[in-house]
Structure 1
Amino acid sequence: MDVVERELTDPWEGVLVTPVGGGEAGVLVLAGSSGRIERERARLLAREGLTALSIRWFGGPGQPPGICEIPLETFTAAVDLLRAGGARRIGILGVSKGAEAALLTAVHDPRVDAVVAVSPTSRVWCNVGPGFPYRSSWTWREQPLPFVPMDDSWTAAGSGTGPVAIRAWYELSERTFSDRLTAATIPVDRTRADLLLIAGADDEMWPSLPFAEQLSERRGASRTRLITHPAAGHRVRLPGESPATASPRFLYGGTPEADALLGKAAWPHILDVLHGRN
């Protein structure tokens, strides 16, 4: 399907990719802690008949330099734009911290009809990047959401050189701050949106599969689907996407083959839930 692509500069940097002739379903596409605009993913979705909007939600002009007390209104404003463009069904596809944002936005904005949460968390975590002491990643109506801090007594295994796996840091922090887990839980039982959860069992960034299972249990089987692969990691690749490049800082788990297999298995379900065909 042919698409039309438009650059956005106000109120945030981004790209809006629209199928020629338009589409009744729109999707907000959110990257994780990379902060990038997900152009390639937006184009893939638009070719499948979805109006796809991807924005830079931190690190841009006038935005916080890191993921620290980001207003969820950033994402509800993006929903406004999709609705103004004629989208009658609204989805959000987010990865990692973007999945955290997607789930929370659906909890607070009843206009969200579907969430695709890739490598998600079931809790609100503290800030990533500049901004210490630890603060919440998110605010709603100018109030920080309850969050889980990181336990800085954790040290990476190995020689201390090269990329590290930090899943164990999150697992330790959950144990250390167990008294804060309930308040920080993302209350997905309060959203009307359909949920599609995608997680690899070999995720080395954080335990996204246990998190996804917690989300599914909290929500119940109604309007929730979980898709996983035992050898996939944190960076799931959808059909047609470029292979992920190695990071000098982090180990993400999985293999390119398994990450692609999970993406391939999830792809038809992603399209179904975003279009409202399920």
Structure 2
Amino acid sequence: MDVVEQELTHPWEGVLAAPAHGSDVGLLVLAGSSGRIERERTRILAQQGIAALSIRWFGGPGQPPGICEISLETFTAAVDFLAARGARRIGILGVSKGAEAAVLTAVYDPRVDVVIALSPTSRVWCNVGPGHDGEQRPYRSSWSWRGQPLPFVPMDDSWTPIDPGSGPVAIRGWYELSEQSFAHLLPMAEIPVEKARADLLLIAGGDDAMWPSLPFAEQLAERRRSAGASVHLIARHDAGHRPRLPGESPAPASPHFLYGGTPEADLLLGEAAWPHILDRLVSMAPPGF
């Protein structure tokens, strides 16, 4: 399928990859704390008949340098963008902090039809990096809505890596300790995913070394099921934080963090999820697609 790519500079940096003949399906694609624009992922999705938009949602012009009180209106504006270009079915695909943003956006914006959350969290966490003021402490929420920060869980800075050294570290234990230390804050920080009208597809690896995304995904699924809302969870216990979709390049190693899993397991998880992703986006497109 012929794909056309359009570079964007306003209202955010980004790229729109779409079939040359157009599409009734629009998908916002969000990276995690890398902050990158997901060019390869949007291209692969566009080859399946989807208009895929990836934006830089922090660290760009006029944006906070870190994930600190990011306005969820950043993402509802992207929904506006896709709808204005003819999308009649709209989804958001995000990984890690991008999955956190995706689920929250669907809670507040009923126009979102489907959320595909890779390595998600079930609660709102504190900032990762500095805000507009350049400060990282005291901890603040990662997100805001209509000018108000969302309740969040801070990090317990007493945590130290199990094997402190000069190499990359696994920080899952930091999140697990913080849940214990701030247990009284967890109820307010839980994402009310049952309020989202969107269909929810969760994809998580049990060997995630960044945060416990599989337990988080199971918590999200339970909230949805308890409310009678649709949800589907796809998991592999040997996969890590970065599932790879068919056709994507292997995820690069990081000098800072361990992500868990193996390239083979991460690819197998992505392959298992792929038909479910396409089913929710392409196969369920409105008449006329």
Give the TM-score range, shorter chain.
over 0.9
In 1, Cα distance between equivalents of 2:273 and 2:104: 22
Alignment-mate amino acid for residue 178 of structure 1: A
In 2, Cα distance between equivalents of 1:275 and 1:137: 32
Give the structure-1-normalised TM-score: 0.98
Kindly state the Cα deviation for residue 159 of structure 1 after the two structures are TM-superposed: 3.6
1:50 matched to 2:50? The reply is yes
Deviations 1:121-148 (A, max 9, x none): 0000000012311000000000000000
In 2, Cα distance between equivalents of 1:159 and 1:82: 45
1:175 matched to 2:174? The reply is no
**Alignment: residue pair count:** 278
In 1, Cα distance between equivalents of 2:189 and 2:283: 30
1:23 matched to 2:28? The reply is no
Match of 1:213 in 2: 218
Alignment-mate amino acid for residue 158 of structure 2: S
5 Å-filtered alignment, 1:59-208, equals: 59-130=59-130, 131-208=136-213
Unaligned runs of 5+ in 2: 131-135
Alignment-mate amino acid for residue 4 of structure 1: V
1:229 matched to 2:236? The reply is yes
Alignment-mate amino acid for residue 36 of structure 1: R
Deviations 1:13-49 (A, max 9, x none): 0001111111111000000000000000000111000
* Corresponding residue SS for 2:188: helix
Kindly state the Cα deviation for residue 234 of structure 1 after the two structures are TM-superposed: 0.1
Kindly state the Cα deviation for residue 276 of structure 1 after the two structures are TM-superposed: 5.5
* Corresponding residue SS for 1:149: coil
* Corresponding residue SS for 1:239: coil
1:273 matched to 2:280? The reply is yes
> Where does structure 1 differ by over 6 angstroms across 4 or more consecutive aligned residues?
none
In 2, Cα distance between equivalents of 1:275 and 1:140: 30
* Aligned residues: CA RMSD: 1.0
1:253 matched to 2:260? The reply is yes
* Corresponding residue SS for 1:267: helix
In 2, Cα distance between equivalents of 1:222 and 1:124: 21
Deviations 1:48-83 (A, max 9, x none): 000000000000111000000000000000000000
Once the two structures are overlaid, the 10-residue window that deviates more, 221-230 or 77-86, is 221-230
* Corresponding residue SS for 1:172: helix
Alignment-mate amino acid for residue 204 of structure 1: A
The 8 Å contact of residues 163 and 250 in structure 1, kept in 2 or not, is answered as yes
Match of 2:133 in 1: none
Give the structure-2-normalised TM-score: 0.95
Kindly state the Cα deviation for residue 275 of structure 1 after the two structures are TM-superposed: 2.8
Match of 1:238 in 2: 245
In 1, Cα distance between equivalents of 2:113 and 2:105: 11
The 8 Å contact of residues 209 and 260 in structure 2, kept in 1 or not, is answered as yes
The 8 Å contact of residues 194 and 229 in structure 2, kept in 1 or not, is answered as no
The 8 Å contact of residues 89 and 275 in structure 1, kept in 2 or not, is answered as no
* Corresponding residue SS for 1:134: coil
* Corresponding residue SS for 1:164: coil
Alignment-mate amino acid for residue 233 of structure 1: G
Closer/same/farther in 2, CA of residues 138 and 235 from structure 1, 3 Å limit = same
Unaligned runs of 5+ in 1: none
Alignment-mate amino acid for residue 258 of structure 1: A
